[in-house]
Amino acid sequence: MTTSLRNAVLAALTVIPTAYTARAQQTCAGDVGCTCEALHKALASVNGTLFPSDGATYKDIEDVNYSAACRLPAACIVSPKNAQDVSTAIKILSEAGTKFAIRSGGHNYISGFASIDEEGVLVSLSSLNSTELSEDKKTAKIGPGSRWQAVYETLVPEGLVVVGGRVGSVGVGGLMLGGGLSYFATQRGLAFDNVKSYEVVLADGSIVTASADNKYSDLYKGLRGGASNFGIVTSYELYTYPVDDFYVDARAYSLNQTSDFLHAFAKYQEEGQSDPLSSATVQLLETGPTILLLYNKPVQQAKAFDAFYSLEPYQPILPAFNGSLLDIMALTGSRFSTGEVRTYGETFTHKADVDLMIELHDIFTEETKNLPTDASAVWVPNAVPVSVATLGKQYGGNLLGLEEVPQQWYEWYITWTSPAQDTAIFDVSQRITQRCTEASEAKNLLLPYLFMNTAGKTQKVLEGYGAENVDFIKRIAAKYDPGQVFQNLQNDGFLIRNL
C-alpha cells in the first residue's frame, strides 16, 4: 500500500467513524503499523495511542507490568478512556486482523498474557480507573484499570468495602476475572462472586450489561470463571458491605520453626477459620515463616488465632494494633517487587492435610536451594475454607467446580534479575509443580482446581473446572464471539483455543 493511499484511508477514518472497521479490514490486513495509525486517528480526541517513538512516555506505560520478564515492545499501546473507546479499538483490531493483548494492572507474571511484542497492539485499561458509589451506597461501579488501593481509598472513608484484592497495587480487572482471594473470602466468597453486573464490550463492538437477571445472564455466569474468552469488561458493579476496623498482628518465625508453624496453620484452618471475621495470610520465606493475622473487629486478641498465640517464640514485624483496611494496604504495599525484577510461579490445589503441607514445602525448599545468587523464592499456602465453595453456589454459581472441602491453594513464586536465567527458572518451576502434584496424588489429596490468579503459563486452568463447565464456556464464547476474535487475535491467556 502506498503512503498516499494509506494517508487517504486514515483521513477517511477520521471523518467517517462508521467506516473504521471495513476500511481497516481492506487496507491494514497484515500491517500492524497501519492499524496503530488507524487507532491513533480514531482516538485522537483522547490522546489514546502511544508509539515506541514516544520514548519515555511509552516506556513508562510499557513498564507497568511489574515483572520485567513480561515487558514486551508492542507496536503501539492504546489507552481507551471509556467503553465507547474500547468499542472503537476492538472494531479496528478485529477487522484489521491485528493481534492484541489486554492489560489491567499488569500483575500477571506470564509473558504475553498482558503484553505483546511488536507484531501486535497492547490495549491498556489503565484509564478506566473510576470508582463510583451508587446513590443508595449498596453497590460501586469500578473500572478494570483501577488499583485496589484507589478503590479502598474511595470506599473505606464511607465505612464501606467491596470484596477485592489483598495488595493495593494490584489491578481490578485481572483479579476479578481470575476469581480473586480477599481478606473477606471466608465471609463473602471470592471477589467475582460479589459482582452484581458487568459492562462488557463484545467482539463486534457492542456494549452490553450482563447480570444474573437480564438477557445476558449466561454471559454473566460465563465471566465468573471464563476469563477473557468473551469480551473486554469495562466496568464491574460490585456489592458493597459495611467494614469495621481490623485487629492486625504481623509475626515472623525462625526457619527451624517451619514444621511447628505449619501445624499451627493447619489447626487454624481446622478450628479458627470457622470464625468468618478471621483471615491469615502466610508467606514462607528463605528466612522463615511470616503471617499476617487479621480480624475484622477492633479487639485485643481474637480466639480464632489461638494456634499462633501458643507458638513461641516469634518476632513482631510490628506491634499488634487496631486499624483500617487502608492501614493494612500500607503494610502490604511492598509485597510485589518492581524495577528490573523478574517473577514467575505456578499453582496447584489439594485437600487440607498438614503432613502433605510439610512434605510439599520440603520439595519446594529442595528445588530452590540452588537458585542463582540473584534469585529468591516464596512459598504461599492459602487456607481456603468450605465456605468459599458454598458461597459461590449461593451467590448465583460460578464455573470453578470447587469441591466443598477445606483446601490449600498455592501461590508460590521465584524472583530473579538476569534474563539469562529465564529458562532455568522455568524448568525449576515445572519440576516443583510436577513433584508437588505427584506427591498430592500419591496421598489421594490432589484436587483438579487451579487458581487462575496464580497459575503458570502451561497449566490447564480451564480443564480443572470440569467438563460440564468447560462446555458452558465454549458455548458462551461461540454465542458472543462467533468470529473467534478473542481466540484468533488475542495474544495469549487462559483461552478455549488452548483446550
Whether residue 228 is found in the same domain as residue 300: no
Whether residue 33 is found in the same domain as residue 52: yes
In a domain, 262, yes or no: yes
Whether residue 237 is found in the same domain as residue 303: no
Banded pLDDT at 336 (limits 50, 70, 90): low
Q: Report how many domains make up the chain.
A: 3
- The CATH number covering residue 484 comes to 3.30.465.10
Give the model's pLDDT for residue 47.
76
Whether residue 231 is found in the same domain as residue 188: yes
In a domain, 43, yes or no: yes
Give the model's pLDDT for residue 339.
83
Lowest-confidence range among 17-31, 68-82, 142-156, 462-476?
A: 17-31
Banded pLDDT at 29 (limits 50, 70, 90): confident
For residue 279, give the C-alpha cell: 483471615
In a domain, 215, yes or no: yes
What is the pLDDT averaged over residues 470-488?
Answer: 98
What CA dihedral angle connects 294, 376, 264 and 449, to 10 degrees? 80
Give the pLDDT confidence of 415-456 residue by residue, as tens digits: 999 999 999 999 999 999 999 999 999 999 999 999 999 999
CA–CA distance, 323 with 325 (Å, rounded to integer):
7
Lowest-confidence range among 79-93, 98-112, 332-346?
A: 332-346
Give the model's pLDDT for residue 206.
98
Whether residue 57 is found in the same domain as residue 136: no
Give the model's pLDDT for residue 24.
55
Radius of gyration of the chain (CA): 23
CA–CA distance, 213 with 220 (Å, rounded to integer):
9
Whether residue 157 is found in the same domain as residue 184: yes
Banded pLDDT at 337 (limits 50, 70, 90): low
Residues 6+ apart with CB under 8 A from 164: 148, 151, 152, 172, 175, 176, 180, 182, 191, 238
Whether residue 255 is found in the same domain as residue 213: no
Whether residue 64 is found in the same domain as residue 116: yes
**Among candidate residues 124, 156, 184, the one where a domain is terminated:** 124
Banded pLDDT at 9 (limits 50, 70, 90): very low
Q: What is the pTM of this model?
A: 0.92
Give the pLDDT confidence of 229-243 residue by residue, as tens digits: 999 999 999 999 999
Whether residue 234 is found in the same domain as residue 260: no
* CA 7 from centroid of its chain's CA atoms: 40
What is the pLDDT averaged over residues 326-355?
Answer: 89
Give the pLDDT confidence of 185-208 residue by residue, as tens digits: 999 999 999 999 999 999 999 999
- The CATH number covering residue 16 comes to 3.30.43.10
Q: Which domain holds residue 214?
A: 131-242+464-498
Give the pLDDT confidence of 241-264 residue by residue, as tens digits: 999 999 999 999 999 999 999 999
Give the pLDDT confidence of 138-181 residue by residue, as tens digits: 999 999 999 999 999 999 999 999 999 999 999 999 999 999 99
In a domain, 149, yes or no: yes
Q: Supply φ then ψ for residue 208, to 5 degrees.
A: -130, 160
Give the pLDDT confidence of 363-409 residue by residue, as tens digits: 999 999 989 888 999 999 999 999 999 999 999 899 999 999 999 99
